[in-house]
Chain A
């Protein structure tokens, strides 16, 4: 667990997210296309919240409420996270 936000490149965030999503969906990371909404892969809302917990633990950020993404893709979340980390520094 990280105590304070650190510098992460968009590419790093993206590849970490892709690996987590693949873990929850139980399929290889390379099968997850970064621009396809995660719901298209059958991602349910509970796994979605579990990933938020993973993000908090990995990047040392905190979601006060559940972000109101509609059909987010990997790229979507990665960009959101990048700006969140930037503003937290």
Chain B
């Protein structure tokens, strides 16, 4: 049972665990923090360990301190003349100063634009420059240590010199106006511009309101079983998954979270688990690769020292969930008490704030073997056991990990071309509606209309197009792939990761590195017009080789084997096979194959093949495309 009470003008709601929740659909982020700070000011909310090897927590914040410091920031920027609706670019390294500045913006009605500080690679600096030009912030907030780098970067930005002040959070503390009156912020106001990792040239800032965030946090917290969370995480707070799934959920739940720098995790993955163990953390969130990295690298000796039995929610999302990762991790860490049912696959995207579907805390992850032939035809047909095929020419069974359940009515599966809704157990594009769907892309009304206000052939309007393909089995969602990656061969949808897997099985004595498979006639750009220019036809296999010297005969034989198996097992009988050096296969930092980019390299003849065997007519087609 819950009961309501007014705390300092903020309606608060308590659940049986004694947690307090900002009230109802019209709460803002500020309301939630105020309620927590009022209810349990002395409770520690966040801790930060900059160096995981040391094991020393350097910074801590109670709810009372976080609330007070955030109000100092808000009062400070208000006193400087900044007004609700202006954007504040938040350039902080991982840490608690970011948390104060983020909630400072929420109190002041400023729209927070989180981004990593200008350090590191040229690509990330270019991305930041694109973001600056797009978001047009009125100010930059940073910390003392980062300010010099920010100032030097700003001075190199055309039009930004002298016009965008860089303000450190520490300088605002002294400016706090004692009788500061918070501006009226409502749930419909923008709280966040979340930039998605689109191309540098076309940054896309997703407009997220206070109401979106609160609705999405409520959804996530419900999946988690409404606990007072105890988390440990290293995801960057500049990224939606880290910001919402790690930091804001903690505040919403009145819980505690130990934050670590992302790089420290990559350096010592085992320390994440050791800290989960020693602090008795129960909730953690990460992409598939993080669990994979731990399963591959943590030694048996270290596992023997871990106690992961209190881990109840291991959220896995943001990239395709590999059933082998779930199995491998669960098996490896079983001696430490990790329970496989703690795995909670989820699905989401920044355009829907974060979460669309999730696996409830009291349910194990669901992995279903489906008939690959039927799946290629757009139908979800479970098969018994391992589902090996036997029959000549049949496509093998495929294991699909469910991304959990959706709230009834929030997801519609739609044929991306005809826009007719598809039935239960039929594959189509995932369309989303509801209070978590963001308002659109900042400054891009046309793209916003196309992506955020899609309409079915039957006239149902107001849906978000995700660009992802999936299927609903009742309320259980399975994500099958990205529309722009799908390869159509004679009316069947083939998923590149399946074909890439099949190609790697044909290595023989060669040492294969990564593989990229794509359609010659891809839907360029994908995304908004997911219906795209689908044409039946050729597929291209680009296979990385780990050694630089090979006998041409050996490569020719391997190419023939690949073509034979793609034709026999997958019905893809027009394949071109290109062998390249391993480093030619382009990947994102988290190891995802950049297939669209690989296709562009192929079309520009920029792959520098070690060996190639093109399907008949392809070289002619390439000439035409020039």
What is A's interface to B at a CB cutoff of 8 Å? 23-24, 26-27, 31, 33, 36-37, 39-42, 44-46, 49-50, 52-53, 56-57, 66, 71
- Name the CB-closest residue of A to B587: A44
Could you list 7 further interchain pairs (A-B, Cβ under 8 angstroms) beyond the known A44-B587, A56-B53?
A23-B297, A31-B546, A36-B547, A40-B546, A40-B548, A41-B582, A50-B297
Contact A46–B583 (Cβ < 8 Å): no
Across the A-B interface, give the 3 residue pairs with the lowest CB-CB distance, nearest first: A53-B267, A42-B513, A49-B266
Q: Which residues of the other chain, B, contact A33 by a CB distance below 8 angstroms?
A: 547
List 5 A-B pairs, Cβ < 8 Å: A23-B297, A40-B583, A50-B268, A50-B297, A53-B266
Give the distance to chain B from A15, nearest Cβ to Cβ, in Å: 19
Beta-carbon contact of A50 and B293 below 8 Å: yes
A46 contacts B546, C-beta separation under 8 Å: no
A46 engages B263 (CB within 8 Å): no
Closest chain B residue to A63 by CB distance?
A: B267
Whether B267 pairs with A44 at a CB distance below 8 angstroms is no
Q: Which residue of B is nearest A1, CB measured?
A: B53
Is B266 touching A46 in the complex (CB atoms < 8 A)? yes
Contact status B585-A42, CB under 8 Å: yes
Q: Confirm or deny: B544 has a beta carbon within 8 angstroms of a beta carbon on chain A.
A: yes
Partner of A41, one of B267, B296, B546: B546
Which residues of chain A are near B589, meaning CB under 8 Å? 44-46
B329 CB to closest chain A CB (Å) equals 16
Number of B residues with CB within 8 Å of any CB on chain A: 26
Chain B neighbourhood of A57, CB < 8 A = 268
Question: Are B511 and A46 in contact, CB atoms less than 8 angstroms apart?
Answer: no
A31 touches B511 (CB 8 A): yes
Task: Determine the chain A residues whose CB is within 8 A of the CB of B297 once the complex forms.
Answer: 23-24, 50
Say whether B511 contacts A36, CB under 8 Å.
no
What string of 1s and 0s marks CB contacts (under 8 Å) between B87-103 and chain A? 00000000000000000
Can you name the residue of chain B whose Cβ is closest to the Cβ of A23? B297
A39 to B548, CA, bound (A): 12
Are A49 and B263 within 8 A (Cβ)?
A: yes
Taking CB atoms, residues of chain A closer than 8 Å to B587 are 44
- B511 CB to nearest chain A CB (Å): 7
* Chain B residues with CB under 8 A of A71: 583
Q: How far does the alpha carbon of A50 sit from the alpha carbon of B514 in the complex, in Å?
A: 19
Which B residues are in CB contact (< 8 Å) with A37? 583
Given contacts A53-B267, A53-B268, contact A44 B591 (CB under 8 A): yes
Q: Quick check: B268 and A42 within 8 Å, CB to CB?
A: no
> Is B293 within 8 A of A46, CB to CB?
yes
Residue of B nearest to A27 (CB): B511
Q: What's the minimum C-beta distance from B605 to chain A, rounded to whole angstroms? A: 21
Q: Is the CB of A40 within 8 A of B267?
A: no
Chain B 23-51 against A: per-residue CB contact (8 Å), 1 yes, 0 no? 00000000000000000000000000000
Q: How many angstroms between the C-alpha atoms of A46 and B264 in the bound complex?
A: 11
With a CB–CB cut-off of 8 A, which chain B residues contact A27? 511, 546
Is the CB of B522 closer than 8 A to any CB of chain A?
no
Q: How far is the CA of A86 from the CA of B17 in the complex (A)?
A: 58
Do A52 and B583 touch across chains, with their CB atoms under 8 A apart?
Answer: no
Give a binary string over B561-603; 1 marks a CB under 8 Å from any A CB, 0 the rest. Answer: 0000000000000000000011101010111000000000000
Q: Of B267, B269, B544, which is within 8 A of A42 by CB?
A: B544
Selected contact of A50 from candidates B269, B511, B546, B585, CB within 8 Å? B269
